[in-house]
Structure 1
Amino acid sequence: MTRKERWKRMIGGFARNVKKLIPDPKFVAGVLVGVLSVVGVGFSGSQTVPAAVNQVQFVLHGDKIQPSDRPGYYFNGRAYVPAALSLSGTNYVPLRFVAESLGLKVAWDQATRSIILDAPAGATPVEPEPEKQLPLKKISVTEAPPAVRELAQHSRELELAQTITLGDQTYLLVTRGMKPTGGYGVDIESVVDTGDEIVVKVKYRNPAPGAAVTQVITYPCVLAAIPKAERPVRFQGTGDVYVPQLQGLEHLDPVVAELTPNLKLFAPVVKGSELTVRGAVRVWEGTLNWEVLADGGAGAVVRRGEVQAAGGAPDWGYFSFSLPAGYARGDNLFLRLFCTSPKAGFECGVVEVSLDTYATYAERP
């Protein structure tokens, strides 16, 4: 067997056993790539490799790690070897040192020529917490606390799932927006605590084709209460239904300007010399452009920019950006907000609002 064949066999054994590495699959990939790179150098036989000892620091979870009592070297049990070698702009470190720093044990299987990384002896695998069904109480909007009623009122025209926590209860609100007829509905079927998050199962109901329905505008919604949520809440539709959520905020703030169906402005915040514009937008990729225009919106552009919302369509994303507070002091400046079509490049959803008027809703911390 040639030297090259021996190396290939060893790498094959390492790949088969590397799945035993516990902490992080990304780390496994990094170690594997590093080992393959070093082995590739070895294939050149007697060729000299221009690697140099590199003085580096090792930090794990914010704490510095010393490879040994000899700076720049690691003691592998038999001899001091460089703790890091630099080759073609890449640092290579001993696998044993990295593995043992992560609390793993390293073994060499001569029969299969495999490097085996495993949990330390006596280590107890961490079992995930079992899923737990949470008690669910459905309530009518009229019976809810005032803050929840207000949230339901200014959310009813949106398709949106959100939460609001008051005291020892978290309220789950799902609205489907305005519908042209009766026959539409929404329900919360179950709430499960998975140990990592709380999953709310939501079911939509639509009228059957040709069904007799009331010819009246409706606003389907469902409201329920669960014990105070201590984990992130995610709403999950049944079947192929996707339930939009608000990214970046737990729930909508009161809307002071409903500019388009997919853009809502919240009250701004004035602090010192800054006016912070706030709102929620439902747009692909979550990118919103803005401009400040002079002369009531008909003049030159005073300032422009773009803001990345916390999420993109079909979810709603919270956004905010700051302007000089002086812009809202009677200078007849208008704020123009718009999105840009990613395919055609043209502007869409263009709206304008007087900064003087908008600032009258300002919250002052």
Structure 2
Amino acid sequence: MGEKEKKKEKKLKKPGKKRIILVAVIVAVIAAAALFAATLFKGDKTVEFKILSENQIPQDISSQVIPEYRTLERALACVVEDKVYVVVTRGEKPTSGFEVDIDKMKLEEQDGKTNLVVYADFKDPEKGKALAQVLTYPLKVAETKLTQLPDEIELRIQYEE
């Protein structure tokens, strides 16, 4: 092997300063992104739940909670027989065709407090469609896997077309 070939081989084996800096920057960016993602999603926990049909709703919720809150647009939680239920109400509507559905729920921990975020889908009736002219109170009740009530509840609404 000649001198030229040995020099070429040495050059190929040694990474250049530019390459080292580039790799270091890439590693730093990946680490920063991972740290940001960990901080952003820290404490979020998906809450398992099951939507109840009208005949599955506990009597205490049907007779006490729903009549008091059905005219409001909100999410609330209550405990009946050691189970945590979430009720999402849409308020009073002038016709049929208004709907509400619970998409997902997440539990967030912030400053030692738990916040239950309820993501609900609201759907309005189609324009121009014949509807019953009757007051309605769209709502959904879900039985959750939570073991205790959260400190706060936040309703996040997505309107569907």
Structure 2 distance, partners of 1:234, 1:208, is 28
The partner residue of 1:217 within 100, 119, 135 is 135
Shift of 1:137: 0.7
TM-score, normalised via structure 2 length: 0.60
1:299-319 CA distances to partner (integer Å, 9 max, x unpaired)? xxxxxxxxxxxxxxxxxxxxx
User: AA paired with 1:216?
Assistant: V
Q: Which runs of 5 or more residues in structure 2 are unaligned? A: 1-37
Once the two structures are superposed, the pairs formed by residues 140-289 of structure 1 within 5 Å of their partners are 140-150=53-63, 151-196=65-110, 197-226=115-144, 227-232=146-151, 233-238=153-158
Once the two structures are superposed, the pairs formed by residues 1-365 of structure 1 within 5 Å of their partners are 129-150=42-63, 151-196=65-110, 197-226=115-144, 227-232=146-151, 233-238=153-158
Does the C-alpha gap of structure 1 residues 178 and 224 become closer, same or farther in structure 2, counting only changes over 3 Å?
same
CA RMSD between the two structures: 2.4
TM-score, normalised via structure 1 length: 0.28
Query: Comparing both structures, which one devotes a greater share of its residues to helix?
Result: 2
Higher relative contact order (CA 8 A, sep 6+): 2
User: AA paired with 1:139?
Assistant: L
Structure 2 distance, partners of 1:186, 1:167, is 26
Q: Which has the larger radius of gyration?
A: 1
User: AA paired with 2:133?
Assistant: Q
| Preserved CA contact (<8 Å) 1:142 1:149 | no
The list of structure 1 runs, each at least 4 consecutive aligned residues, that deviate by more than 6 angstroms after superposition, is none
1:290-336 CA distances to partner (integer Å, 9 max, x unpaired)? xxxxxxxxxxxxxxxxxxxxxxxxxxxxxxxxxxxxxxxxxxxxxxx
Aligned residues: 114
Shift of 1:199: 0.9
Shift of 1:162: 1.7
| Preserved CA contact (<8 Å) 1:167 1:228 | no
Does the C-alpha gap of structure 1 residues 211 and 155 become closer, same or farther in structure 2, counting only changes over 3 Å?
same
> Secondary structure of the equivalent of 1:195?
strand
Aligned to 2:3: none
Q: Which runs of 5 or more residues in structure 1 are unaligned? A: 1-125, 240-365
Structure 1 distance, partners of 2:71, 2:124, is 17
User: AA paired with 1:135?
Assistant: E
1:89-109 CA distances to partner (integer Å, 9 max, x unpaired)? xxxxxxxxxxxxxxxxxxxxx
Q: Percent identity, please.
A: 28
Does the C-alpha gap of structure 1 residues 207 and 141 become closer, same or farther in structure 2, counting only changes over 3 Å?
same
Shift of 1:130: 4.5
Structure 2 distance, partners of 1:209, 1:134, is 35
> Secondary structure of the equivalent of 1:212?
coil
> Secondary structure of the equivalent of 1:180?
coil
